[in-house]
């Protein structure tokens, strides 16, 4: 059972301050500023999202949330702490925007995405999808992965969420090989 706890500051309707890039075909069902959203499985944390703004959209077939800057001129980024099965922080994701699709338990980070794992791996891309239920990462675009022993670039990343096992297409880079 997925549990979502939203610690909200300023949960009021401020139509005059909706960011222009958040305007979709419909008005959000909820807006919140200075957001901290904790997602968990039972009593263990799974993700902790911090963002300057949240717009939540409820439709008949789906519910999703858009996290991002509160205003177009705002440079505050979205930060997500990702926790492993034991509840230990395993990675931090920073991006310009983040979409969360409740039903699919899927996150899509967009804009200058940087993933930093606790094991010293760094991933950079413009877009990254995290399938939280399947514990996997994916992007069709360009990605750069840096570890203490590798500096790789490529396209179409498919990976486990810890960046321990991954595949890339059109790969280039440098790898240190021990003899």
Question: What CATH number corresponds to the domain at position 163?
Answer: 2.60.450.10
Sign, CA dihedral 152-153-158-159, equals positive
Strands 44-58 and 2-9 come out as unpaired
Does 19 reside within a domain?
Answer: no
- The count of domains in the chain is 1
Strands 122-131 and 136-146 come out as antiparallel
Residue-wise pLDDT tens for the chain (179 aa)?
344 444 444 443 333 344 444 444 568 899 999 999 998 877 788 899 999 999 999 887 888 999 999 888 889 999 999 988 888 898 999 999 999 998 888 999 999 999 999 989 999 999 999 998 888 999 999 999 998 888 999 999 999 888 888 999 998 988 777 77
In a domain, 20, yes or no: no
pLDDT at 27: 85
And the tokens for 68? 């991002």
pLDDT given for residue 8 in this prediction: 42
Q: Which residue range(s) make up the domain with 104?
A: 2-11+28-175
Measure CA 156 to chain center: 17
Q: In the chain, what is the greatest distance between 2 CA atoms, to the nearest angstrom?
A: 63
Contact 5, 38 (CB under 8 A): yes
User: Is residue 16 a part of any domain in this protein?
Assistant: no
Q: Token pair of 124, please?
A: 């950079």
């Amino acid at each position: 059972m997925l549990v979502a706890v939203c610690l909200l500051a300023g949960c009021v309707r401020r139509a005059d301050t909706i960011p222009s890039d958040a305007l979709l075909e419909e008005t959000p069902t909820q807006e919140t500023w200075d957001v901290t959203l904790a997602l968990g499985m039972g009593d263990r944390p799974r993700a902790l999202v911090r963002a300057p703004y949240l717009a939540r959209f409820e439709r008949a077939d789906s519910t999703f949330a858009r996290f991002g800057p509160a205003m177009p001129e705002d440079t505050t980024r979205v930060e997500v702490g990702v926790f492993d099965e034991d509840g230990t922080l395993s990675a931090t994701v920073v991006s310009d925007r983040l979409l969360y699709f409740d039903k699919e338990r899927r996150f899509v980070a967009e804009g200058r995405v940087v993933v930093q794992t606790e094991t010293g791996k760094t991933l950079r891309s413009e877009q990254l999808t995290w399938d939280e239920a399947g514990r996997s990462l994916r992007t069709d675009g360009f990605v750069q992965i840096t570890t203490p022993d590798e500096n790789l670039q490529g396209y179409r990343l498919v990976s486990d969420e810890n960046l321990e096992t991954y595949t890339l297409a059109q790969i280039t880079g440098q790898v240190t090989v021990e003899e």
